[in-house]
């Protein structure tokens, strides 16, 4: 069953290109990732959406995802409310909206 993860980020002023470059050219090509998209949700605000083969694949890729995060962590602002610099969730598909 497909598994998705969603991660919110807020970027420090003037650091957006550096943040985006950390995800380009296969740098975020973690094993088990079927497809991923970085979307801009507002001024200096982004959201990564990934589709994975299954829950085991995302679990196995976590160390590599953290290594990627560490490569650009200093470009991120705290999100507040104790979240740190990312707000991440993941889970399995329960309803497909379009077939």
| Sequence ranges of the domains in the chain | 3-88
- pLDDT tens string 69-91: 999 999 999 998 888 999 999 99
Which class does domain 3-88 fall in? Answer: alpha beta
Predicted local confidence at residue 18, as pLDDT:
95
Confidence at 6, pLDDT banded by 50, 70, 90: very high
Cβ density class 34-47: b for 16+ within 10 Å, e for less: eeeebeeeeebebe
Whole-model pTM: value is 0.89
Query: Which pLDDT tens digit goes with each residue over 16-31?
Result: 999 999 999 887 889 9
What is the reported pLDDT for 98? 83
């Amino acid at each position: 069953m497909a598994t998705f993860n969603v991660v919110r980020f807020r970027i420090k002023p003037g650091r957006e290109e550096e943040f985006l470059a950390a995800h380009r050219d296969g740098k975020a090509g973690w094993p088990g990732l079927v497809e991923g998209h970085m979307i801009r949700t507002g001024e200096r605000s982004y959201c990564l959406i990934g589709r994975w083969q299954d829950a085991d694949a995302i679990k196995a890729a976590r160390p590599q995802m953290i290594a990627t995060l560490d490569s650009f962590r200093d470009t991120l602002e705290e999100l507040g409310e104790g979240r740190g610099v990312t707000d991440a969730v993941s889970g399995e598909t329960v309803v497909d909206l379009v077939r």
